[in-house]
Structure 1
Amino acid sequence: MSRTDGDSPEPDRLLTPADGDPVDGSAMTVLHVSHTAQPGGAELALVRLLSQQRRHWLARLCAPDNGTAFDRLAAHGVELERNLPALPTGGTRGGSLLLAARYLRALQAGAGVLGRSRLFQDADLVHANTAAAAICAAFADRGGAKPLVVHLRDLVTTDSLGRFGFRAFTRIALGRADGVVANSRTTLASAEQWLRPGLPRMVIQSPVGIDRRVTAPRPDAAVRRIGMVGRLQRWKGQHVFLRAFALAFRGTDVRARIAGAPLFAETAYENEIRRLVAELGIADQVDLLGHVDDVPGFLDSVDILVHASTRPEPLGQTVIQGLARALPIVATEGGGPGEWIRPGVNGLLVPPNDPEALGQALLRLADSTELRAGLAAGAAATPGIRTDEECRAHHAGFFRAVWQARRDAGWKEAG
């Protein structure tokens, strides 16, 4: 849904009920649950959330020991347990009943580990970082002893969660939730029919690594580098970007820079990308950089940023990052990016999975310094983008509101 009416986005809205302040933020203990330690978008957002959170709440984390995403959190005072079972890849999406059964057993095993955890027993509130983590947490606490906040980071659809994951999440996790955080209005809307009336819910932008914004952009006179950031995954559309780039810039001195690596046994797509680069005749113009830790530095190295997802994106972290760095952006229509991009004001929108349209938009930007400068200025002026610290404060307020609502409900029942 494109925003063409001139209204500012509303990334942070508490829908129900009003904020509470039950405990001093530094005294509240929140257990965060992650179903993986692979450095995907949800996991990196959680790392940013917890890296400097001590002034807001006491953070604990339970996760598997199958990746490096959370390695640096101990240095930020976060106590970790890395003993949750890793989930089998493809367990929610495949048509195999055997694989789905293995996935369910792994979730139930994880729930047993989580329920016995000292960190779980000591927590004032549990925050499930993903849909799979929410299913695990719901299994672990069927009696509802701990307030549970479920984080919606993916659209609640079968395309996003898979057939089995969708059914388990909507029937088990959302029914158990005491509060829901969504990363965009689009994501929240996809879950509304499964949320009970009066359930606390809030749209909060995920922290995307912003500590300051570029307020005075100075676009170069010529386009030399066009960039894309994101996990190497087919629906993220790196292949669409490369086809568009080849149509627009093959044989020129313009370079395509792609930051991102495959996760969860997705190396086949990386190999496909490398073959495609050769087939398109642009191998000497493409930089495949792999995972990049310094995203702001990467963004500052390119003249145009591309978002090319082939289906609606729940948030589109890279779009917010690009706006914060005052870059001209071309993004695909639909989902979270459409809540931030106002076409012709702070970016351009093109249909998904359309290399020709994307290539034409890139040529249009490359041919007009005036258009790039105008979009960069519009990006710099985009309202509502939160720094990571502001995101932490919003999460803290919501956690306290959910805690308060549960406490008030308990008092009413006791009375």
Structure 2
Amino acid sequence: MTLPPDFTLLQVVPELDTGGAEQTTIDVAQAVVRAGGKALVATRGGRMAARLEADGGRLAQMPVQTKNPLVMLGNAARLVDLIRREKVSIVHARSRAPAFSALWAAQTTGTPFVATYHGVYNAKSGLKRWYNAVMTRGDLVIANSDYTRDHILAEHGVDPDKLVTIPRGVDLERFTPSWVTPDRVDNLRAAWGLDPADRRMKLLLAGRLTRIKGHLMIVEAATRLKARGRRDFLILFAGDDQGRIEYRHEVERAIVAAGLEEQVKLVGHCDDMPAAYLVCDIAMLPTTKPESFGRAAVEPQVMGKPVLASDHGGTTETVVSGETGWLVPVDDPEAWALAIAKAIDVGHARLAAMGQAAANRARRLYSVDAMCEATLAAYARVLEARAR
């Protein structure tokens, strides 16, 4: 994709710590730099900031994560100064609270404004709907799945011509099984306390420790499997509690109360997700609320692993039930117990065949290169429309 000369992108995101919106911010910044432009990110900071700068992007540190109106006004003033100083071509907001400051700054400076709807924001009041609608007030709205697009149209009545679907992308270079060295897998097994000789079917739930990810429901499903005499599985919860200490303790207590210490393990934050997917046989995404896209259902498929996922939200687009994994009724421990048993019983050969089908499909549809190309094309479209 060819960008205009002197193109400068300013993305605004609360933090660069972990998550789909944050990873997409990094990916798009890298694509802009590769295309010859400048990429700025206004954010509070976070563990991914170093990677942004290593890729050639620049950090503009400010408290854009705040919902304090006075600080938001201060952020708007800081962003106006940054936009003028750096001659920013497009402002791209990726979250609601910072979108207010970013929109005000873009309007003040006459700069095109784009926003990505990274999640389905529910509204139970007119005020909340107004708050959510800040993401639709610019030149273009990007939805990260058709599920999200349908929600935006129903919730905000946006002109369909002002809305484009760009699915999140997965870094196909990073998530290539043959590029993951055996020592990385061995090191992760050792860190997680796994015996290399353990032949039980391993199921991985990767995601931050929060109630909507479905950990407690999976513990209940595992309890039912154990009650039926099954011991042929090991469930791994990989993710940060991000300060949700009480929830982590609740999950730990549920595991102990059910006597599942040998079947369910919390292994903490993981920096090497490609290796993590090679440690497991099956990935799980048992969310109790619909995810707008669900990168944690796509990454393992790219790595050749079938997925068990809740039958709602974006996963209904990314998982083909019976071919690349299974879609399971939402928040239903009995259904999940049966689905896990079924996945185990199909055996390694069938799982490998499903994993190959999953990899072929995910690599075709969800590459980070395709996402970045589509995003840069959206920027070009906005600039052309402004020029007219």
Unaligned runs of 5+ in 2: 179-197
Taking the TM superposition and a 5 Å limit, the aligned residue runs for 1:7-18 are none
1:379 equivalent among 341, 355, 358 = 358
**How many angstroms apart in 2 are the aligned matches of 1:26 and 1:279?**
62
Q: 1:129 to 1:120 in 2, by over 3 A?
A: farther
Counting only pairs closer than 5 Å after superposition, residues 173-184 of structure 1 correspond to structure 2 as 173-175=135-137, 177-184=138-145
Q: Is 1:76 aligned with 2:55?
A: yes
Note the alpha carbon deviations across 1:204-233, whole angstroms, 9 max, x for none. 122333325569xxxxx9653110111111
Q: What SS is found at the alignment partner of 2:293? A: coil
1:270 to 235, 248, 259: 248
> Match for 1:279 among 218, 232, 257?
257
Query: In angstroms, what is the RMSD of aligned CA positions?
Result: 2.7
Give runs of ≥4 in structure 1 deviating > 6 Å.
none
Describe the superposition over 1:363-396 as per-residue Cα deviations: whole angstroms up to 9, x where unpaired.
Answer: 0111122542442233133264332223222211
Q: Is the 8 A contact 1:85 1:109 kept in 2?
A: no
The alignment's TM-score, normalised by the length of structure 1, stands at: 0.79
- Aligned: 1:346 with 2:324: yes
Unaligned residue ranges in structure 1 (runs of 5+): 1-20, 89-102, 216-220, 409-415
Distance across 2 between alignment mates of 1:324 and 1:165: 37
2:24/2:168 contact within 8 Å kept: yes
The 2-side partners of 1:314 and 1:196 are apart by: 18
Q: Report what 1:204 is aligned to.
A: 166
Following the alignment from structure 2 to structure 1, what is the Cα–Cα distance between the partners of residues 208 and 24?
13
Mapped pair 1:252 → 2:231: yes
Structure 1 window deviating more from structure 2 (120-129 vs 304-313): it is: 120-129
- Kept in 1: contact 2:106–2:113 (CA 8 A): no
Q: Which residue of 1 aligns with 2:148?
A: 187
Question: 1:196 Cα deviation (Å)?
Answer: 4.0
CA distance in 2, matches of 1:277, 1:363: 19
Residue among 375, 380, 383 paired with 1:400: 380
Retained in 2: the 8 A contact 1:156–1:187? no
Output the CA distance in 2 between the equivalents of 1:222 and 1:164.
54
Q: Secondary structure at the match of 1:71?
A: helix
Change in Cα spacing, 1:40 to 1:165, as seen in structure 2 (3 Å) is farther
Contact 1:237 1:310 in 2 (8 A): yes
Deviation at 1:184, TM superposition (A): 0.3
Compared with structure 1, are the counterparts of its residues 47 and 287 closer, same or farther at alpha carbon in structure 2 (3 Å cutoff)? farther
**Match for 1:295 among 273, 285, 307?**
273
Give the share of equivalent positions with the same residue, in percent. Answer: 23
> For residues 157 and 116 of structure 1, do their structure 2 counterparts lie closer, same or farther at Cα, with a shift above 3 Å needed?
same
Counterpart contact for 1:227–1:306, Cα < 8 Å:
yes
Residues 96 and 131, structure 2, Cα contact 8 Å, conserved in 1: no
Return closer, same or farther for 1:163/1:277 CA change in 2, 3 Å cut-off.
Answer: farther
Provide closer, same or farther for how the CA distance between residues 208 and 107 of structure 1 changes in structure 2, counting only shifts above 3 A. farther
Q: Which amino acid aligns with 1:153?
A: H
1:130 aligns with 2:95: yes
Matched, 1:241 2:218: yes
Greater percentage in helix: 2
